[in-house]
Amino acid sequence: MKKYIIVLIIFLGLFPTLAGAQAVGGVVVDAAGAPLPFVNVVELSQADSSFVGGTVSRDDGTFALDHVKSGNILRFSYTGYTTQYINYTGQAAFTVKLQESAAMLGEVVVKSYLPKTMLTGEGMTTIVAGSVLEKTANMEQLLSRIPYVSAKDGQIEVFGRGTPAIYINGRKMQDRMDLERLQPGDIKKVEVISNPGARYDTSVKSVIRITTKKSQGDGFSLDNKTTLGVNEDKRLSSYESFRVNYRKGGLDINGFLYGAYTHNPDNKRVRQYSYLADTWLQSMDINQEYTNINPYARLGISYVLGENHDLGASISYNRSAKDFAAGSQLFNTLQNDVLNETSVIAYQSPGQSTAYASNAYYMGKIGQLKVDFNTDYYWYGKKGWMAVHETVSDKGNLVEAETADVNSFRNSRNYMLASRLVLSYPLLGGSLSVGGEYSLVNRRMDYVVKPEVADNENDKVREYMTSAFVDYSRTCGPLTVQAGLRYEYNDFNYYDNGLYVANQSKTYGKWFPSLALSLPVGKTQMQLTYASDIYRPSYNELRGGVQYDNLYTYESGNPFLVPSIIRNLTYGFSWSWFNLQAIYSHVADEVCTITQTYQGDPMKSLTRPENINSYNSFRTGLTLAPTVGIWHPMLELMVYKQWLKMATHVGNRLDNPVAVFQLTNTLDFKWLTASIVMTAQTEGNMGNKYISRGYFNTDLSLYKELFKNRLALTLDVSDLFGTGNQHRVHYSGTQRTMLYDAYSTSSVMLGVRYRFNATNSRYKGTGAGQSQKNRM
C-alpha cells in the first residue's frame, strides 16, 4: 500500500516543474461556428519552424498553451480541414476558424467528413455528428459500427474486454432502456475506453461514453417508436416506446414508457463425453423458446439553479410480467458407443421479475471545486417455477418406459443502497479528482424441489463494499498524462438457513494503480495505458446447494470462488482513417464453468463455476475506415491469442489464436441509406472454450428519413443467409468435454419512429453501486 502512495506522490510532484505561469487560450471552430475538438495546436519557432510546444483542443474547441513566445508561429491542423498558420503577437485569447478541404481521388471527388475516430486521453473517440453514422436505425446498430465494439440482440461487448459500462452525457446507464431512448441522430460522439483508470470501479473492464448534441428549446417534445419483427419460425415480436419531455427555464421533466412482447427460440444440440473407466456419451437435442412481456416506466425530474448547480431525481419500474420458457429435450446415453438409455423430457418454466430503481443527484461548482454526488436505491425480485416431465427407457425400449415428474421453485429478493461522491479541482495546470463509493447489498434466495432429488436452499448474503480513488490528469505540451490509484474493500457475509458460515464468508481489499499517456506525433496519435480490473463472482455463482435441471443435469454455485484479477497494458495508434490497438493481459483466477460427475453416477453431471489456472493473453485490432463519395466502408480485423494450460483429453495447451473479420459497407444515397455488415470468425481457443467451426453472418439495414427527420423508417434483416450458427467445445479437465452447437434464427424488423420538437433530457445523475447491481 505504502509503495503505491509514494509512487503516486512522486509522480504528481513532477508536475510543478512542468506547469507554466501563463497560458494563451482560445477556441477553434468550423465555418459554421461549431467548436472543433481534438485540433492539433502547435507552436513553431519563427527562426527555423522547429517544434516548441503543442496541445489539442478540448471537447468544446478551447485550447491553452504555456509560455508562447511573441513572434512565433501557431499551427492549427485537423484532418479534413485546411491547416492554418497564425503569427502570434501577444494576444491573450483568440478564435480560429478552420475551413473544410476537399481532395481528388482519380475522377472521384472525396468529400471530407469530420475525422471518425481518434485517440483522446485514455480512450478512442468516434465523431458521429455530421457523419453517415447518424443514419443508422438505432443505437445498437450505431455502436456495432464503432471500432472494436459489437452490439447485437441486446448484447454489447468491447472486443476482448467484455460488457462495457456505458455513460450517457456523464451519467451511467442504469438499464438498457437508457439506450432505447436515444436516436443516432442525437449523438455527438462515442468514446471507447478498453483499459479504464482509477475513477472507474475495477469490475469495469471497458467503458463506452456517449455524448449527445446540446439540448435546445423549451416546451413539450415527444418521441414515439413502433417496431414489429418476425423470425424464420414465423413468430412475431413487437416493441413500443414513447418518450415525452417538458422543459421550462431550468426545469426539465422527462417520462418514458416501453413495452415489448417477444418470442426468442433457442434450439441447440449438446454432446457430453465422459472419459472414465468407460467412455460415456450423452447426446441432447434441445428445442425451446422463451416468451416475455416486458413493461417499463421511468420518470425523471431535474432543475438547473443558475450556471453552477444542478440537481434531480428519478424512479423506474421494470417488470418481466411473463418470463416463460418451454421446450423438449431428447437424451440418448451411450456407453462405449452402445445405446444405454433414452429419455424424453418436456418442461415448462413460468416466471416473473420486478425491479425498482431510484436515483438522486447533485452536480455543482463551488468556486473552482466541482462536486458530483449520487445516491441510489435498487430492489430486484424474481420468482421462477419449473415443471419437468421425464420418460426414461432402457436401451430405447418404450414399452417398459418409466415416467417421473419433478417440480421446483426459486425465489430471490435483493436490495441495495449506494452513494458516491466525486470532487474535482484544477491543480498545477491539470485536474485532480478524488472520490469514494459505499454500498450495502442484502440478498435472500430460496430453492425448493419436490421430490427432493436435489438439495433445498435457504441462503442469505450481506455484503458491504467501500472504495476510494485519486486521479490526476494534465496536458504537458503535446503529451497528455493521466495517473490514478484506487482502493476497494469488500466484506462478504454468507448465511445458510439463518446461520453464519465463517468459511464461506470473506473480506478482502486491494490497491489498483493506473496510468495513461497520449501523444500526437505529426498527423498520428499514440496512446499507452496500464490498469487492472477485477471480476467478482455474481451472487448466483456464489450460492450454495444444487439445482435440478433434469435427470442427468444438475447445477450449483461455488461459495469458495475468489475474484479474478486482470492486469492490462494497452497501446493505441491512429492516423487519419487507420486505427490500431493492442492489449497484453495477465489473467489470474479466471472463473469458468466446469462440468464434473455427480453422485458417482457417470450419467449424471454437475456444472459449477471454478477458478482456473492463471495465463497471459494478447489481442490486437486494426480498423480501416476511408470515405469515397457515398461509399463508407469499414474493415475491422481482430486477433486474440492466449497461453492457457489445462489438462484435457486432447492435450494440455489451449492456445490456438482466434481471428474476427468484419466488413461494413454503407451507401449514403440522397433518398436512402443502406448498410450490409458481414462478420466472420475463425476457429480457436478463448478461455476453456474452443471455437470448433468458423462463423459467418450477414446483416442488412435500410434507413429513410422523411419530413425533415421527424419521421424515420427502418428495415433490418438479421442473419440474412441463416449461417450464424455457433459451434463450441467446453473443456472440464481430462474427464469431461462438452460439444455445443447453437442454431441461429434469422429475423426481419420493421421500425417507424416519429419525433416532434425532439430534445434530450438534461438529467445528469450518474448513479452509484452499479457493479453490485450487475452481480444480482
* pLDDT tens-digit map of 169-214: 777 776 777 777 787 878 888 888 888 888 888 888 888 888 887 6
> Is the per-residue pLDDT at 12 higher than 70?
no
More confident residue, 667 or 42: 667
Euclidean distance between CA atoms 467 and 486, whole angstroms = 7
Predicted TM-score (pTM) of this structure: 0.77
> Is the per-residue pLDDT at 362 higher than 70?
yes
* pLDDT tens-digit map of 631-685: 889 899 999 999 999 999 888 899 999 999 999 999 988 888 899 999 999 999 9
Question: Is the CB of residue 164 less than 8 Å from the CB of residue 179?
Answer: no
Cell 419437468, residue located: 388
Per-residue pLDDT, 79: 61
From residue 232, alpha-carbon distances to 155, 170, 285, 561 in Å are 21, 40, 19, 41
> Is the per-residue pLDDT at 588 higher than 70?
yes
Q: Give the 3-state secondary structure of residue 83.
A: coil
Euclidean distance between CA atoms 630 and 113, whole angstroms = 11
Name, in order, each residue with C-beta under 8 angstroms of 103's C-beta and a sequence gap of 6 or more.
Answer: 110, 112
* pLDDT tens-digit map of 251-294: 999 899 999 999 999 999 999 999 888 898 989 999 999 999 99
* pLDDT tens-digit map of 451-506: 887 778 888 999 999 999 999 988 887 788 899 999 999 999 989 888 998 888 88
> Is the per-residue pLDDT at 603 higher than 90?
no
> Is the per-residue pLDDT at 765 higher than 80?
no
Per-residue pLDDT, 5: 41
User: 329-355 burial string, b = 16+ CB within 10 Å, else e?
Assistant: bebbbbbeeeebbbbbbebebebbbeb
- Mean pLDDT, range 590-594, rounded to an integer: 92
Per-residue pLDDT, 236: 93
Q: Which band of pLDDT confidence, cut at 50, 70 and 90, is reported for residue 84?
A: confident
Least-confidence region, from 41-50, 220-229, 539-548: 41-50
* pLDDT tens-digit map of 405-457: 999 999 999 999 999 999 999 888 888 999 999 999 999 999 898 888 777 88
> Is the per-residue pLDDT at 776 higher than 60?
no
From residue 251, alpha-carbon distances to 221, 420, 679 in Å are 14, 24, 46
Q: What is the largest CA-CA distance in the chain?
A: 100
In residues, how long is the chain?
776
From residue 24, alpha-carbon distances to 27, 43, 44, 71, 613 in Å are 11, 11, 14, 14, 54
> Is the per-residue pLDDT at 11 higher than 50?
no
